[in-house]
A and B are shown apart, each in its own frame.
Chain A
Amino acid sequence: MKAFLEKIRHSFSYPKGETPSSNSSGFREFTGWAYRKLSSIRTSIYILLGMALFYLLGTVFPQGANIDDYVQAGGRFVFAVRLFNLLDVFSGIPFLFLAFLLFLNIAICTYERFFHLLVQKMPVPRDFTPTATIPLTMDAHVAQGEIWNILRERLNFRLLSKGQEWTVMERGLSYRWLTWLYHAGIVVCFMGFLITYLFAVEDVVTLYPGKPVEITPSSPGRLEGLWRDRHPKPGFSIILDEFITEYVQHPSIDYPRDRVSRLAIALGWRDVTYTINEKSFFPKDWKSRLRILKNGLTVYEKTIEVNDPLVYEGYTFYQMAFEQRLRIGVDNNPILLEVKTGDELIVPGLTTPLRFTNLITGTLYRLDGGTEGITPFVTVKRTVKDEGGGKRTEKLGILELGGSITVDGKKITLADIEEASILSYRYDPGVGILWWTGLFVFLVITIRCFGGWYMLAYRIEESDGIAYLTLSIQTRGLIADRTKMTERLVYYITSSELKPTPLPPSS
Chain B
Amino acid sequence: MDLLQDIVSRNAFLLTFEVRLFWLVAFIYGTGCFFLLLYIIFRSGHLGKASHAILWTGITLHTGLIILRTFEGGRAPFQTLYESLSWFAWSATITYLFVSRRWKDVYLPGFFVTLISVGACMYALLSRSPDVKPLSPPLQSYWFEWHVTLAFLSYAVFVVSFAVEMSCLILKPFLKRGMAQDFGLSLDGLDEFRGTAVRLVLFGFPLLTFCIFSGAAWANEAWGRYWSWDPKETWSLITWTVFAVYLHSMAIPSMRGLPASLFNILGFICMMMTFLGVNWLAKLLGIPSLHVYAV
Identify the A interface with B (CB < 8 A).
41-42, 44-45, 48-49, 51-52, 55-56, 58-65, 70, 73-77, 90, 202, 248, 250-251, 253, 255, 259, 262, 265-266, 268, 271-276, 282-286, 305-309, 316-318, 320, 366-368, 424-426, 431, 434-435, 438-439, 441-442, 445-446, 449-450, 478
CA distance A74 to B4 in the complex (A): 49
Whether, in the assembled complex, B237 has its beta carbon less than 8 Å from a beta carbon of chain A, the answer is yes
The residue in chain B whose Cβ has the minimal distance to the Cβ of A86 is B287
CA distance A305 to B125 in the complex (A): 34
Whether, in the assembled complex, B206 has its beta carbon less than 8 Å from a beta carbon of chain A, the answer is yes
Query: Once the chains bind, are A63 and B229 in contact (CB under 8 Å)?
Result: yes
* 5 tightest A-B CB contacts, nearest first: A73-B288, A266-B23, A318-B224, A306-B137, A62-B290
Query: Once the chains bind, are A442 and B4 in contact (CB under 8 Å)?
Result: no
The residue in chain B whose Cβ has the minimal distance to the Cβ of A74 is B288
Chain A residue numbers with a CB within 8 Å of B287 are 60-62, 75-77
CA distance A202 to B224 in the complex (A): 9
Query: Once the chains bind, are B225 and A426 in contact (CB under 8 Å)?
Result: yes
Query: Once the chains bind, are B220 and A431 in contact (CB under 8 Å)?
Result: yes
Query: Once the chains bind, are B137 and A305 in contact (CB under 8 Å)?
Result: yes
Query: Once the chains bind, are A265 and B20 in contact (CB under 8 Å)?
Result: yes
Query: Once the chains bind, are B206 and A445 in contact (CB under 8 Å)?
Result: yes
Chain B residue numbers with a CB within 8 Å of A272 are 12, 15-16, 19, 130
Whether, in the assembled complex, B177 has its beta carbon less than 8 Å from a beta carbon of chain A, the answer is no
Report B1-49 residues with CB < 8 Å from chain A CB. 3-4, 7-9, 11-13, 15-16, 19-20, 23
Known: A60-B285, A253-B130, A255-B130. 13 other contacts (CB 8 A): A45-B252, A56-B238, A59-B235, A63-B229, A75-B287, A75-B288, A76-B285, A202-B225, A248-B134, A262-B125, A309-B221, A318-B224, A426-B224
Chain B residue numbers with a CB within 8 Å of A305 are 137
Query: Once the chains bind, are B229 and A58 in contact (CB under 8 Å)?
Result: yes
Q: Please indicate which of the listed interface residues B9, B13, B23, B234 has the most CB atoms of chain A within 10 Å of its own CB.
A: B234
Chain B residue numbers with a CB within 8 Å of A308 are 221
Contact of A253 with B129 at beta-carbon distance under 8 Å, contacts A45-B248, A442-B209 already known: yes
Nearest Cβ in chain A — how far from B154, in angstroms?
A: 12
Q: List 14 A-B contacts (CB under 8 A).
A: A45-B245, A49-B245, A52-B242, A59-B278, A74-B286, A76-B287, A266-B23, A274-B9, A368-B4, A368-B7, A426-B224, A441-B209, A445-B205, A446-B206
Query: Once the chains bind, are A48 and B241 in contact (CB under 8 Å)?
Result: yes
Identify the B interface with A (CB < 8 A).
3-4, 7-9, 11-13, 15-16, 19-20, 23, 125-126, 129-131, 133-134, 136-138, 140-141, 199, 202-203, 205-206, 209-210, 213, 216-218, 220-226, 229, 231, 234-235, 237-238, 241-242, 244-245, 248-249, 251-252, 255, 278, 281-282, 285-291
Query: Once the chains bind, are B209 and A445 in contact (CB under 8 Å)?
Result: yes
Chain A residue numbers with a CB within 8 Å of B12 are 271-274
CA distance A275 to B4 in the complex (A): 11
Nearest Cβ in chain A — how far from B205, in angstroms?
A: 6
Query: Once the chains bind, are B245 and A48 in contact (CB under 8 Å)?
Result: yes
Nearest Cβ in chain B — how far from A446, in angstroms?
A: 4
CA distance A52 to B245 in the complex (A): 10
Chain A residue numbers with a CB within 8 Å of B210 are 442, 446
Contact of A255 with B290 at beta-carbon distance under 8 Å, contacts A58-B234, A318-B222 already known: no
Q: Which of B9, B224, B226 is the one whose CB lies under 8 Å from A309?
A: B224
CA distance A431 to B206 in the complex (A): 21
Query: Once the chains bind, are A262 and B126 in contact (CB under 8 Å)?
Result: yes
Chain A residue numbers with a CB within 8 Å of B205 are 445, 449
Chain B residue numbers with a CB within 8 Å of A274 are 8-9, 11-12, 15
CA distance A202 to B289 in the complex (A): 24
Query: Once the chains bind, are B4 and A276 in contact (CB under 8 Å)?
Result: yes
CA distance A41 to B256 in the complex (A): 13
Contact of A283 with B137 at beta-carbon distance under 8 Å, contacts A75-B287, A253-B131 already known: yes
Query: Once the chains bind, are A276 and B8 in contact (CB under 8 Å)?
Result: yes
CA distance A283 to B229 in the complex (A): 26
Query: Once the chains bind, are B4 and A42 in contact (CB under 8 Å)?
Result: no
Query: Once the chains bind, are B286 and A55 in contact (CB under 8 Å)?
Result: no
Chain A residue numbers with a CB within 8 Å of B252 are 41-42, 45
Nearest Cβ in chain A — how far from B9, in angstroms?
A: 8
The residue in chain B whose Cβ has the minimal distance to the Cβ of A271 is B16
CA distance A308 to B222 in the complex (A): 7
Chain A residue numbers with a CB within 8 Å of B8 are 251, 274-276, 367
The residue in chain B whose Cβ has the minimal distance to the Cβ of A448 is B206
Chain A residue numbers with a CB within 8 Å of B15 are 253, 272, 274
Query: Once the chains bind, are B255 and A45 in contact (CB under 8 Å)?
Result: yes
Q: Which of A60, A367, A441 is the one whose CB lies under 8 Å from B282?
A: A60
Contact of A284 with B7 at beta-carbon distance under 8 Å, contacts A255-B129, A446-B206 already known: no
Query: Once the chains bind, are B237 and A55 in contact (CB under 8 Å)?
Result: yes
Contact of A431 with B255 at beta-carbon distance under 8 Å, contacts A307-B137, A368-B3 already known: no
Nearest Cβ in chain A — how far from B267, in angstroms?
A: 10
